[in-house]
Amino acid sequence: MKTRDNLFYDNDRLCIRLAEGGRALKGYEAPQNKVPAMLYRNGELIDVNWQSVSVINGDSSLSFWPTDLFHEIPYTVNELATVLKPRALEFIVKLSYAIEMAEKRLDWGFGAIPTSSFYFFENGDVLLMSAQIADIIDRFEFDAQRFDDKEKWYAHNCVNDFGKAHFLFQLVHFALTGVAPFESDAIRLTGFQALPMELYFAPENTKILPLCQEVNKAFSNNKKFMYQTRKPYDYFREAIERSTADLSLEDMQGGENPRIGTYIEARDKKAQRRTFWRKRGVLVSVITLAVAAVIYIAAYYIHLAVKAPETKDLNEVQMIEYYYDAYTRLDVSGLGEPLKYGYDGPDLNEIAAKYVTSTMQQAYEGGSQSVDARKWIADGMPAIKQNYSVFGVTDIQVRQISEDVFEATIELYAPDDYFDRALDDEDMRFLETDHVLIYKYREVVQFTFRTRKTWREITDIKLLDIQLTDVIDVPYVANDNTDAKLSTSVLTMFQTF
């Protein structure tokens, strides 16, 4: 009996094994109105009728009627990266034509179709499963099988139907590298930012770069580019044609690239941070809410007592400086002093969360791991202890817009990438275990004031603009050697939020 993966022939019938044994069929009723599969051949779709879902050779299986359209077992998607690799691009381009013609009859999810819904024949034909057959296969899949078949191929962050091209580019990536680009948990935890495809090839292999650049562009999450791509299938085929004209089979072979290890390490670190907050986020949120509740209750009784705020004798500029001093010191109560009663401001949640983290660090590790940016700069931006980070506001400049409106321009240092940029080559040179990146931002913030009794108070804070102005490589202290090298700027870029 001819077999390949879950495909086999029985009495001249092509069959798909759905599950081991026959017990899986207990209570299952196959649909009465059978929607056929489709064979793409020479630019046309030919219906391929299926016969039944039954026990064949002891296993639960779906069978097709005997046909003269084919007499061999087709290849699966996994073989694009092995025996079909020399012709992989040819097969994927033909698949693009096939699914474009059969689009409304297929089982789509997040811009992708199940990989169990298409198969390749040696002569170039493509066999497509209808949405009905895809539903039958899904009915018998375990979670791990369903992940391999569907979920790891979903085109996340895509708009304007670009997911269909995105899915085809994923198949190209898989065929040439043997890796499904979004299968890794670390990639799925970091905004579905795939590794640059060229990292799977030797640095001296320059002929593969045009194709890698097309794949990277498709995975870039660039919404403007996606909206401009009105015909995803045509775009995919044109991209393959223009990037592979001079490509040989030898060029498509992977190779050693020394950069990939560092890149993966940096990505995994980012994923670990997000995993930490997913696992302990509820606890931190509860503590944050408790702290916030204490603050609200305290503020309420202060209000009842008509107690003047600590900032009652300050002018507007001094109040803004007071606000950012409390911000830098993670002083949640001080953050609210210049604000009107009942107004929390936009920074309370962030500072409350950092305050809770700092408090937990002091309780369990003997000290906060947040370094005041002002002191750090005054000390010459030295190395910091392992797992510490720099945070705070410096260089506050305030100008008056009107009687009640003031505009502050500040420099913010933080360990957080507020733009969630994909890691690039410049970042990669410095993402090592003995360094940390600190992001420097320039923010323009508008403060609105009013007079209450004899003092002024802030009624509204609005972020007008934020720019990433620098990324600073901060080395960790080596073996507690306080004379370790100083921090250096590794990236300067201006990007308007």
Lowest model confidence (mean pLDDT) among 31-35, 62-66, 191-195, 287-291: 287-291
d(CA 470, CA 429) in angstroms, rounded, equals 15
Percent of the chain with pLDDT over 70: 84
Q: How confident is the model at residue 135 (pLDDT cuts 50, 70, 90)?
A: very high
**Distance in angstroms between the alpha carbons of the first and the last residue of the chain:** 62
pTM metric for this prediction: 0.58
**Tokens 């024949």 sit at which residue?**
121
Spatial contact of 145 and 134, defined as CB atoms under 8 Å apart? no
| Residue in 94, 108, 260, 236 with CA at minimum distance from that of residue 177 | 260
Instruction: Tell me the average pLDDT across 270-278.
Output: 56
Task: Identify the residue with better confidence: 263 or 17.
Answer: 17
- Maximal C-alpha separation, the chain: 95
The answer to whether residue 287 scores a pLDDT higher than 80 is no
Residue type, position 121, single letter? F
The structural domains of the chain, with segments of one domain joined by +, span 155-257, 263-491
pLDDT confidence of residue 110: 76
SS3 content of the chain, % helix, strand, coil (to 5): 40, 25, 35
Q: How confident is the model at residue 481 (pLDDT cuts 50, 70, 90)?
A: very low
The answer to whether residue 146 scores a pLDDT higher than 90 is yes
How high is the mean pLDDT of the chain? Answer: 85
Q: Which helix (H) or strand (E) holds 427?
A: helix 425-428
Report the DSSP pairing between strands 370-372 and 389-400: parallel
The answer to whether residue 497 scores a pLDDT higher than 50 is no
d(CA 458, CA 92) in angstroms, rounded, equals 60
| Count of CA atoms in the C-beta half-sphere (13 A) of 24 | 21
Instruction: Tell me the average pLDDT across 477-485.
Output: 56
Residues 6+ apart with CB under 8 A from 289: none
Instruction: Tell me the average pLDDT across 330-345.
Output: 87
Q: How confident is the model at residue 346 (pLDDT cuts 50, 70, 90)?
A: confident
pLDDT confidence of residue 71: 92
pLDDT confidence of residue 149: 93
Query: Would residue 478 be called left, alpha or beta, if left means φ above 0 and alpha means ψ between -120 and 50 degrees?
Result: beta
What would the pLDDT profile of 173-232 be if each residue is shown by its tens digit? 999 999 999 988 877 777 778 888 999 999 899 999 999 999 999 998 888 888 889 899
Angle between helices 163-177 and 209-218 (to 10 degrees): 140
The answer to whether residue 167 scores a pLDDT higher than 50 is yes
CB atoms < 10 A from the CB of 288, how many?
Answer: 21
Q: How confident is the model at residue 420 (pLDDT cuts 50, 70, 90)?
A: low
- Name residue 448's beta-bridge partners: 405, 460
| Residue in 112, 120, 110, 116 with CA at minimum distance from that of residue 170 | 112
Lowest model confidence (mean pLDDT) among 409-418, 458-467, 485-494: 485-494
The answer to whether residue 240 scores a pLDDT higher than 90 is yes
Task: Identify the residue with better confidence: 108 or 272.
Answer: 108
| Residue in 318, 323, 378, 368 with CA at minimum distance from that of residue 348 | 323
Decide: helix, strand or coil at residue 297. Answer: helix
The answer to whether residue 463 scores a pLDDT higher than 80 is yes
The answer to whether residue 10 scores a pLDDT higher than 70 is yes
Instruction: Tell me the average pLDDT across 469-493.
Output: 66
pLDDT confidence of residue 264: 74
Spatial contact of 447 and 463, defined as CB atoms under 8 Å apart? no
pLDDT confidence of residue 165: 94
CB atoms < 10 A from the CB of 2, how many?
Answer: 11
pLDDT confidence of residue 268: 65
The answer to whether residue 453 scores a pLDDT higher than 70 is yes
What would the pLDDT profile of 52-110 be if each residue is shown by its tens digit? 999 999 999 999 999 999 999 999 999 999 999 999 999 999 999 999 999 999 988 77
- Name residue 444's beta-bridge partners: 409, 465
Residue 101 has φ and ψ, to the nearest 5°, of -70, -35
Query: Would residue 306 be called left, alpha or beta, if left means φ above 0 and alpha means ψ between -120 and 50 degrees?
Result: left
Let me know if 53 is exposed, middle or buried by CB neighbors in 10 A (0-12, 13-18, 19+). buried
Spatial contact of 221 and 192, defined as CB atoms under 8 Å apart? yes
Decide: helix, strand or coil at residue 448. Answer: strand
Q: How confident is the model at residue 394 (pLDDT cuts 50, 70, 90)?
A: very high
pLDDT confidence of residue 482: 44
